[in-house]
DNA sequence: TTGACAACATACTTTGCAGTATGTTCAAGT
DNA sequence: ACTTGAACATACTGCAAAGTATGTTGTCAA
């Protein structure tokens, strides 16, 4: 990788953020593929056609890079769902909109959400170098407050009589397992249209709502998106 | 760790299998806690109050140890579910029995099932030292044939009109995400009775069957196990 | 036009850990 | 009783990868 390969290699400060973004995307892909521990910095660098030096220029350590990807993943999914949290709708409709937004974001930013997942169950057993571990805890708190929004709307929807469950924690966990399923089993294919993704998300939401004992009525359509039938995957 | 610590350190050949078992359990716990890559052999050895030498006496490499844990996890869950696969019952009842057996096994052998999980999504991106990679593929085939049994019973249950789904692959993936949920979110507590575990499993099965659009009738009880109400976790 | 500094690349140091080589102990067969 | 070998422990080696130190280049501000 000689300087000549990059026409405008020196863009200075203003788009340092862009450079960090590119690094994060490469890192997210690597972390998703082989996990945090098994991924080397050289690997991440190679993926974006670069070298170690560039990454260590922007990040103090491998852990900090990981945490930045984690943080970004959280931000992405929160920004996707947040508009629907306080919508002026019946709880059940809010719930459905939140589920849909969550799955769609998962499908679109899978590598990042995979890192979030790794981060969550990395907290349980201290693997991080102390200083970064505090950050991990902070992010876990963010994650908790995110899931609290779902917990709340679940309670409200049950009060409405629209859904039903026994233990809300188990129910919520099952909901998230279902919603986050694509992180594990979804593999984006070459010529996949936005519409196909949307159908896939709809099916995930369908199963999730069923899981919650959604009273009969299989699917009154949401205002904005259109309903379809088909064979997604 | 001096020899004196162990009264009967030299048990010779006959119970070499027992020694391997102890190693595997320690390994399963470590792999579950920190993942394959982040776990060191010394760590596994320390957990069972031993040293590296013992492990390398029984296993040629870290990978082979991992594969043995993987294999054992598969065997455990297969042996738990297999009796119900060919039972002379309506497909829906067979399905329910299989789901229950699966979840129960997951709850009881969580560390092993976690390793299975790691093994499954380790295959996608070649991290293993070539020779062992072939073993990984073999085990993945086993895993596939296991999940095929669920696929079959799902089709039969739909033919019966007992359940409903759109894309069977997505449905099956969602089912497994739900069923394997405890691998991620369940943490065994100190004074936890068998009965509490059973209730937890029942709730997981409940949500999973609902997910499959189980026609109305919330729960006709199975022959053997008794039905309960309560707050499991 | 010339410092100064951001944005890298390159070359080096360090270390944790997989794997190995070797030593030690006991148990069973002869 | 001595020999062989299984079942370990201990001490060592080698390498991969994290982290660092230093070199290089272009851009902007003055």
- Same structural domain for residues A109 and A32? no
Token pair 């593999």 is found at A187
- Intra-chain end-to-end CA distance of chain B, in Å: 39
Asked if residue A109 keeps its beta carbon closer than 7 A to nucleic acid strand D, the reply is no
- Same structural domain for residues A112 and A156? yes
Domain assignment of residue A20, yes or no: yes
List, as one string, the DSSP characters of A95-126.
HHHHHHHHHHHHHHSHHHHHHHHHHHHHHTS-
- Same structural domain for residues B54 and B141? no
- Same structural domain for residues A74 and A181? yes
Domain assignment of residue B2, yes or no: no
Q: SS3 breakdown of chain A: % helix, strand, coil, rounded to 5?
A: 70, 0, 30
Final residue in a domain of this structure, among B20, B38, B59:
B59
The whole-angstrom separation of Cα A81 and Cα A105 is 9
Q: If pLDDT is split at 50, 70 and 90, which confidence band does A8 have?
A: very low
pLDDT digits (tens, 9 = 90+) for B160-210: 999 999 999 999 999 999 999 999 999 999 999 999 999 999 999 999 999
Asked if residue B10 keeps its beta carbon closer than 7 A to nucleic acid strand C, the reply is yes
Tokens of A116: 């979030």
Burial of residue A38 (number of CB atoms within 10 Å: 0-12, 13-18, 19+): middle
Q: What is the CATH number of the domain that holds B29?
A: 1.10.10.60
Give the per-residue pLDDT at B4: 34
A160 vs B4, residue with greater confidence? A160
- Same structural domain for residues A162 and A47? no
- Same structural domain for residues B75 and B55? no
Asked if residue A35 keeps its beta carbon closer than 7 A to nucleic acid strand D, the reply is no
Domain assignment of residue A37, yes or no: yes
Domain assignment of residue B4, yes or no: no
Domain assignment of residue A106, yes or no: yes
Give the per-residue pLDDT at A216: 59
- Same structural domain for residues A83 and A122? yes
Cβ distance A160 to A177 under 8 Å? Answer: no
Number of domains in chain B: 2
Q: What is the mean pLDDT of residues A204-227?
A: 71
- Same structural domain for residues A43 and A124? no
Domain span holding position B47: 10-59
Please list every residue in chain A whose beta carbon sits closer than 8 Å to the beta carbon of residue B151.
Answer: none
- Same structural domain for residues A105 and A206? yes
pLDDT digits (tens, 9 = 90+) for A158-183: 999 999 999 999 999 999 999 999 99
Q: Which nucleotide is nearest to A12 (CA to C1')?
A: C6
| Residue with smallest Cα–C1' gap to D6 | B12
- Same structural domain for residues B32 and B127? no
Give the chain A residue nearest B125 (alpha carbons).
A33
Neighbours of A182 (CB within 10 A): 25
Neighbours of B18 (CB within 10 A): 10
The whole-angstrom separation of Cα B136 and Cα A131 is 37
Domain assignment of residue B3, yes or no: no
- Same structural domain for residues A103 and A76? yes
Residue B37: closest CA among B133, B113, B111, B122: B122
Distance B14 CA to D10 C1' (A): 26
- Same structural domain for residues A115 and A22? no
Cβ within 8 Å, pair B37-A35: yes
Q: If pLDDT is split at 50, 70 and 90, which confidence band does A17 have?
A: confident
* CA atoms in the 13 A half-sphere facing the CB of B115: 30
Q: What is the CATH number of the domain that holds B210?
A: 1.10.357.10
The whole-angstrom separation of Cα A89 and Cα A84 is 9
């Amino acid at each position: 990788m000689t300087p000549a390969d990059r026409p405008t290699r020196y863009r200075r400060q203003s788009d340092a953020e862009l450079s960090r973004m590119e690094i994060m995307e490469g890192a997210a892909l690597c972390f998703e593929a082989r996990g945090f521990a098994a991924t080397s910095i050289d690997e991440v660098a190679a993926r974006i056609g670069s070298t170690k030096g560039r990454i260590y220029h922007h990040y103090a350590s491998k852990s900090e890079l990981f945490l930045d990807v984690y943080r970004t993943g959280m931000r992405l999914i929160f920004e996707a769902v947040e508009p629907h949290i306080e919508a002026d709708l019946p709880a059940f409709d809010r719930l459905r909109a939140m589920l849909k937004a969550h799955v769609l974001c998962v499908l679109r930013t899978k590598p990042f959400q995979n890192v979030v997942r790794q981060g969550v169950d990395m907290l349980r057993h201290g693997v991080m170098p102390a200083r970064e571990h505090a950050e991990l805890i902070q992010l876990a708190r963010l994650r908790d407050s995110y899931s609290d929004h779902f917990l709340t709307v679940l309670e409200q929807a049950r009060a409405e009589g629209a859904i039903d469950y026994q233990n809300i924690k188990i129910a919520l966990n099952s909901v998230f397992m279902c919603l986050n399923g694509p992180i594990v089993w979804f593999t984006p294919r070459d010529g996949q249209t936005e519409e196909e993704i949307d159908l896939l998300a709809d099916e995930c939401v369908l199963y999730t709502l069923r899981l919650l004992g959604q009273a009969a009525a299989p699917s009154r359509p949401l205002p904005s998106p259109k309903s379809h039938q088909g064979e997604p995957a």
